[in-house]
Structure 1
Amino acid sequence: MKIGFAYLLIALLLWNCEKDNRLTFEPFELISENCINCPKVTIHIPKALDDTPISHIINTSVQEEVISLLIYDDEVEASNMEEAIQSFKNGYLELKKMYPDEPVGWEADVDGKVTYEDKNILTIQVNSYSFTGGAHGFSSTRFLNFDKIKEVEMEPMEIFKDPLEFQSFAERKFRDQEKIPASGSLNATGFMFEGDEFYLPKNIGFTQEGLQLFYEQYEIASYADGPIVLTLSYKELEPYLKFKQEL
């Protein structure tokens, strides 16, 4: 019984150590004022609560991403999300002055979530949708990857030991997924790779299912095709990643 209790105690201590490696988040919501001549803006993002450098870096990066999605009035230099919402509103009001009979309102929705975390890495995915007139709105997905040990935000290529070697591997997986022969033209199947040569997307992020390569609408295909997503398992990525995944 004593031996069994000792094993249980060790297991609990190890579990607590693993748990302590994870950051603490709470949901943060910001909604624009409700008025007739106001565009509708809704923001839902995770906010890191720990008083640590990496938490401050995460919150700053997420806020900057939200601001970049909402800035519409070049005369306004937004330093926070409230000012970015005002910039978006100014853009709408300026359009109303030019076209007072414009019947369609503007809207923007930003939603963020933590998609992956281990002792080394944390990833936040920011999805957004905005409509400012025209035939359809604009959707985007952005991955923010953070090195928790170095306490920095990482650029996508910093994830890999050898980015060019990984790109060759990713192209083989992409061709397999899209059923494109190894020696065949990428664009012959309807894609729009510049120069008919494979390249990695701007958005690459860690998820529970694997590393996600996310091509935005228009990035390599038509709007009607929507985003093109390639998800690679961590097991097959072991030779290419700088970090060993510990789910």
Structure 2
Amino acid sequence: MKSKLLYLLICISLVACNTEESLTFETLNISNDACENCTSVSIEIPKALGQIKLSETINIALQEEIIALLNFDEESNAQTIEGATEAFVKDYKELNGKYPEESMPWEAKINGSIIFENKDVLTIKLESYIYTGGAHGYGTNRFLNFDKIKKVELDRQELFKNEDEFKAFTETIFRKQEDVPADATINSTGFMFETERFYLPENIGYTDKGLLLFYEPYEIASFADGPIILTIPYNDANNFLKISVMP
């Protein structure tokens, strides 16, 4: 009798754990009613389903990132993606009302995709293109990393056991990849590190091929140079990561 009761309790526990940790997604599409010569907004991102903490963490992080991307007016108090979309269109209309001959329609395209997931970590990449006037728009890439066990978003510094040690290791790889002599300053070949010293990019994410470091255009080089990308295999990166990945 005791063995049957124990077996039943184990089964209930396993079902409860699986239900709690279950993580599924659907595609969330948000767009405005665009017309010819009108400001357009198009958003397609993964939405985590289920009433679990991890889903809430992921959805809030994506929402906050998209609101920030669409925030042209720093006084905007949008609390949702839909609200940020409406504010983006409203800001254009107000500007167009003041300068109708100079204001080209604005555009915002944001696409999110899951680029890595295992039992411990999840990484979502947000690609965006925002045009709010001028010669050209600007594209950005954001990498959002989540600890699936602790159910929290990971800031860049939280990825590493020791960020300074990882930075020193990465500089060696960077110099080799970009042909920067080891005995020369980091900007000697035309890079534009603001402090004249190597630093890590704002965007770092897990991928199937290794840890990806993504320098945006303008971050360390000219816009014409495009992004600078390093991928460090997990065989090397795991020495520095708090959450290691089997190669």
TM-score by length of 2: 0.88
Partner secondary structure for residue 140 of structure 1: strand
Q: For each residue in 1:123-172, what CA deviation from the matched residue of structure 2 results, as whole angstroms up to 9, or x when unmatched?
A: 11111001111111111111111111111111111111111110000000
> Displacement of 1:183 after TM fit?
1.3
Residue aligning to 1:70: 70
The amino acid of 1:226's aligned partner reads G
Residue aligning to 2:109: 109
Residue aligning to 1:40: 40
What 5-or-longer segments of structure 2 have no aligned partner?
1-16
- C-alpha distance in structure 2 between counterparts of 1:103 and 1:62, whole Å: 29
Residue aligning to 1:26: 26
CA contact (8 A) 1:128 1:141 kept: yes
- C-alpha distance in structure 2 between counterparts of 1:72 and 1:103, whole Å: 14
- C-alpha distance in structure 2 between counterparts of 1:117 and 1:60, whole Å: 18
The amino acid of 1:41's aligned partner reads V
Residue aligning to 2:193: 193
Residue aligning to 2:207: 207
- C-alpha distance in structure 2 between counterparts of 1:119 and 1:181, whole Å: 40
- C-alpha distance in structure 2 between counterparts of 1:23 and 1:172, whole Å: 38
The amino acid of 1:157's aligned partner reads Q
> Displacement of 1:182 after TM fit?
1.2
CA contact (8 A) 1:21 1:118 kept: no
> Displacement of 1:37 after TM fit?
6.5
> Displacement of 1:26 after TM fit?
1.3
* Equivalent pairs, count: 230
- C-alpha distance in structure 2 between counterparts of 1:168 and 1:238, whole Å: 15
Residue aligning to 1:223: 223
1:99-178 → structure 2 map (5 Å cutoff): 99-102=99-102, 104-178=104-178
CA contact (8 A) 2:70 2:88 kept: yes
Residues 194 and 102 of structure 1: CA distance in aligned 2, closer, same or farther (over 3 Å): closer
TM-score by length of 1: 0.88
Residue aligning to 2:59: 59
- C-alpha distance in structure 2 between counterparts of 1:147 and 1:207, whole Å: 14
Residue aligning to 2:184: 184
- C-alpha distance in structure 1 between counterparts of 2:238 and 2:72, whole Å: 42
> Displacement of 1:188 after TM fit?
1.5
Per mean C-alpha deviation after superposition, the further-off stretch among 94-103 and 114-123 is: 94-103
- RMSD between superposed Cα atoms in Å: 1.9
CA contact (8 A) 1:32 1:85 kept: yes
- C-alpha distance in structure 2 between counterparts of 1:164 and 1:75, whole Å: 36
- C-alpha distance in structure 1 between counterparts of 2:113 and 2:160, whole Å: 23
Partner secondary structure for residue 195 of structure 2: helix
Residues 242 and 103 of structure 1: CA distance in aligned 2, closer, same or farther (over 3 Å): closer
CA contact (8 A) 1:27 1:45 kept: yes
